[in-house]
Amino acid sequence: MSGDHEANVIITWDEHGDKGRVARVMMHNPARLNVLDTSMATQLAQSMKDVVQEEKLRAVVVTGAGDRAFIGGADIHEFSQLNPDSARTFITNIHLACQAIRDCPVPVIARIHGYCLGAGMEVAAACDMRIATIDSLFGMPEVQVGVPSVIEAALLPRIIGWGKTNELLLTGQTITAHEAKDFGFVERLVSTHALDMHLQEWIDDIVIAAPNAVRSQKKLIRTWEDVPLDQAIEAGIDVFSEAFETDEVQRFTAPFLNKKKKKS
């Protein structure tokens, strides 16, 4: 693994031999709970654009440095000084970071330990899957500091439903990791010492799967979000057909067929 520890966002790599590489993108400002200011948001967007250039990329893990926070929110010191024009630029930069995560062609996993608030919850929502420790805390506290929750907060109704979204955004309350799991925001909730073990289980499953199929599946899921049901089903027919344009199906079905032959 390698990385520039002086940057606010650090990229490191896990090698999986001929199965590819997994990028870890870490917000690195633990003294300030890894809050997103303009610089951090810009670096996060660029880091995501950089890692997707890796042809052997199989997955990305987004996480925060230290043992206190994933991302503690947007930088309140910076946004308290904004005017209408600079506010638009500030929030757009955070949106672009979230969009870069959503645009990633491979699975993106949020590795959450500690505070996951405001912009941090939006970054996590932009990821495909979320794993968190039992002592993590979640919330969208923007209304408590004078602004509404915006940009990728719009993803929350799809993940946790309208009622729970209303509860979080209109009250600004902080919820426990167990509540976030019950809401459906967190897919897997684990103890702190088991976080990386359970995270690795997901990564292992992804890297042994067919790489083109995983990318096609993520692209199809994104399509399902944007089109009516009948179009979503038709899109799946196209994607299934396209899977046979390479030899990947033959290569990945061969071991199963060989096992069946040996048993018969």
Indicate the DSSP class of residue 8. Answer: S
pLDDT bracket for residue 259 (50, 70, 90) = confident
> Percent of the chain at pLDDT above 90?
93
pLDDT bracket for residue 261 (50, 70, 90) = low
- Give me the CATH code for the 9-208 domain, please: 3.90.226.10
Mean model confidence pLDDT for the chain: 94
* 117 and 174 Cβ atoms separated by less than 8 Å: yes
DSSP letters for 114-142: SEEETHHHHHHHHSSEEEEETT-EEE--G
Rounded-to-integer distance, Cα 62 and Cα 100, Å: 12
* Residue from 58, 198, 83 nearest 132 by CA: 198
> Percent of the chain at pLDDT above 70?
95
Rounded-to-integer distance, Cα 115 and Cα 72, Å: 5
pLDDT bracket for residue 1 (50, 70, 90) = very low
Give the per-residue pLDDT at 3.
Answer: 41
Residue 255 has pLDDT above 90, yes or no: no
Q: For residue 2, what are the CA distances in angstroms to 22, 34, 112, 123, 242? A: 12, 20, 21, 23, 36
Residue 262 has pLDDT above 90, yes or no: no
46-85: pLDDT as tens digits: 999 999 999 999 999 999 999 999 999 999 999 899 999 9
Domain boundary assignment for the chain: 9-208, 211-263
Question: Which sign does the torsion angle of CA 216, 183, 186, 40 carry?
Answer: positive
Rounded-to-integer distance, Cα 74 and Cα 115, Å: 12
2-51: pLDDT as tens digits: 344 455 999 999 999 999 999 999 999 999 999 999 999 999 999 999 99
* 117 and 169 Cβ atoms separated by less than 8 Å: no
* 187 and 31 Cβ atoms separated by less than 8 Å: no
* Helix (H) and strand (E) counts in the chain: 11, 10
